[in-house]
Amino acid sequence: MLIDRYADDVVVWAPAKINLFLEILGKRPDGYHEIATLMVAIRLYDTLVFKEDVGGDIQLECNQSRLSTGADNLVVRAADLLREQTGCRRGAKIRLVKRIPMSAGLAGGSTDAAAALAGLNELWRLGLDKTQLKNLGARLGSDVPFFFGGTAAWCTGRGEMVAPLDLKMTLHLVLLCPRFELATRDVYREATVPANPRDGEDIRQAVREGNIEGIGKGLFNCLEEPAERLCPELIRFRDRLADLKPAGVLMSGSGSTLFALCRQRGEARRLARQLRLGPEEEASVYLVRSCPTAWTTP
């Protein structure tokens, strides 16, 4: 995430994420699942612009008309939580430019919530540090704390316990984003807790070593099969990517985005050209790479 302060406003670029590994470890008493996941921030950004509102209101506008801008939006909830916890009574006009596909397994809502906490902390000069912002973010959503860390992290609990990993190389990726959406709660409801969960040590070691083939072999998402049962069209899209022989193919989060992990930038460009989806296929393709740090310029 990059934060720029100007004379009258604060601008935040909020990155998406992908999951290189995701395993369910158990069901929690609070209704959530205990998970272990390896997340990486990628250069696909939403942009949020924050200006002072002299009347003390929180006003949100968005370029996507189907996204609610009311009290249920995570950006508004983040602003309300920040004011509640700090006693600040100042207001803000917030403009959200959405580029990250919604309900696609890329944490678009969570990154916007993190950006709201960070941007308003700067706008209102509250002086909260990353740890304080991360702790507030955990109250808004399981993925929110990740965006206050580094590029890659091993996340446990319901996803809010973040242990940064040193990503040794830039990952080059092709995202295939079907235009249909999958609800996270539906995918998790379809999933089962494995008797012997995978520990993900192989892929963590590959990340530490900068071994792209090892990362490709270690890609795993226990939610992929449940998502494919709910939406069999995902199988066809996954096979399209796999036929192009990247280092690996996986669904991100609870879907519906699939990604191809490529060995180098040139391979990613070639794969994106060869994919050639027709307009009737209802999907979008993005050529992206990992962020060198989650707090960097796009």
**Has 166 been annotated as catalytic?**
no
Which residue among 17, 46, 112, 134 is the active-site one? 17
Amino acid identity of residue 83, one-letter, is R
Which residue among 46, 112, 134, 143 is the active-site one? 143
d(CA 254, CA 12): 26
d(CA 204, CA 121): 33
- Give yes or no for a contact between 19 and 252, defined as CB atoms under 8 angstroms apart: yes
- 59 has which bridge partners? 93
- Give yes or no for a contact between 290 and 170, defined as CB atoms under 8 angstroms apart: yes
**C-beta contacts of 77-80 below 8 A and 24+ residues apart:** 77/113, 77/140, 78/113, 78/114, 78/116, 78/117, 78/120, 78/136, 78/137, 78/140, 79/116, 79/120
DSSP state of 169: S
**Strand pairing report for 172-178 and 2-5:** unpaired
**Has 53 been annotated as catalytic?**
no
* Alpha carbon distance, N-terminus to C-terminus of the chain: 8
Which residues are designated catalytic? 17, 143
